[in-house]
Amino acid sequence: MSTCVTCSRPLRFQRRYVFESDAFRRIYKGREVYRCEACNLSQVDTARVDDAALTGYYREDYRNVGSAGQLTEATQHWYAKRAEALAGLVAEHGPPDIAAIFEVGAGYGHNLRALGELYPAATLETDEVSGDANAGRDGAIGRGELGTGKHDVVILSHVLEHFTDPVGLLERVAQSLRPGGVAIIEVPNDIDGIERLNGPDEPHLTFFEQPTLRALLERVPLETRALFAAGPDYTVSDTRRALRQAVRAVLYRVPVLSGVLRRRAARNVAALPEFAGENPRGVFLRAVLRKS
Ligand SMILES: [Zn+2]
């Protein structure tokens, strides 16, 4: 049994872990979510996570399981709006002379492309990107690694909650930043009872709320400049909603209907207010960290 990923204190059973695939059952061999006795962070038993299998999962299975990371018109809108908001945070808190931007796990590249538009002279790098993020852009997004002290900006968008050692990851981010550089973090806001943002728990290993994220950030050699909830309102789960979602999941399997549903979802996302700014009922938690 592991101890807390933030403060190394003992964990207590909180609830069952909700899996979506057999692939992830082979990665997380526990079946529970625990809460830290001291800092309250919800998390899996990381001693029972197979690190090698986890790496393989992100390489091969992640975007094929359920709705995780699939690129539809609705998710395109969603990612683009989120990228705009994160780029806005960089403009507000970052150093004036931004030359090197790094994103850990860049997804389809939306965040880096939004930053590239704000800072056309800056280099854009990531350790991992899906699909053809550079399509039509002359290979603007390059490959790189953390930990060189050269980056003005490091982005971790929905990344922290996938790591068995989030403090270790943030220490590497700190090493990677030059003095005055900023790290922008976004994770799901996992308020108790909230409708799960990605359906089931999988593939998240930690479940942050504002106080538990703050406690983790205090362990890292970076100054927390901002920490707030943002994005569209979360909805608290209830039985009727769960039933509706189950019905929708079935309808999505019908080819003719799935096109209609996807177009409607895209319109709904397009109609959402901007993702920037604070919203205490927002589905995201955002943090800005600065290296002094
Ligand atoms: Zn703890």
Q: How far is the CA of 4 from the centre of ligand 1 (A)?
A: 5
Has residue 23 got a pLDDT over 70?
yes
State phi, psi for 236 to the nearest 5 degrees. -80, 140
Average model confidence (pLDDT) for the chain? Answer: 87
Predicted local distance difference test score (pLDDT) of residue 133? 66
Q: pLDDT class for 155, splitting at 50, 70, 90?
A: very high
pLDDT for position 28: 96
**How many Å lie between the centroid of ligand 1 and the Cα of residue 161?**
14
Closest Cα partner for 290 from 228, 223, 214? Answer: 223
Q: Measure CA 70 to chain center.
A: 14
Torsion (CA) 169, 161, 40, 220 in degrees, nearest 10: 20
pTM of the predicted protein model: 0.86
Among 177, 186, 281, 156, residue whose Cα is nearest residue 222: 177
Residue 155 Cα to ligand 1 middle (Å) = 24
| Arithmetic mean of pLDDT, 190-198 | 65
| pLDDT confidence bin for 101, thresholds 50/70/90 | very high
CA of 98 to the centre of ligand 1 (A): 35
Q: Give Cα separations from 88 to 82, 84, 174, 181, 239 (angstroms).
A: 10, 6, 21, 15, 37
Mean pLDDT of 145-168: 94
Distance CA 136, CA 61 (A): 27
Q: What is the pLDDT of residue 64?
A: 61
Q: How many helices (H) and strands (E) does the chain have?
A: 8, 11
Distance 272 CA to ligand 1 centre (A): 35
Residue 237 has pLDDT above 70, yes or no: no
**Segment 260-277, tens digit of pLDDT:** 777 777 676 666 666 778
- Read off the DSSP letter of residue 162: G
Q: Are 49 and 28 in contact (CB under 8 A)?
A: yes
- Ligand 1 centroid to 42 CA: how many Å? 9
pLDDT of 73 > 80? The answer is no
> What domains are defined for the chain?
72-290 (3.40.50.150)
pLDDT higher than threshold 60 for residue 37: yes
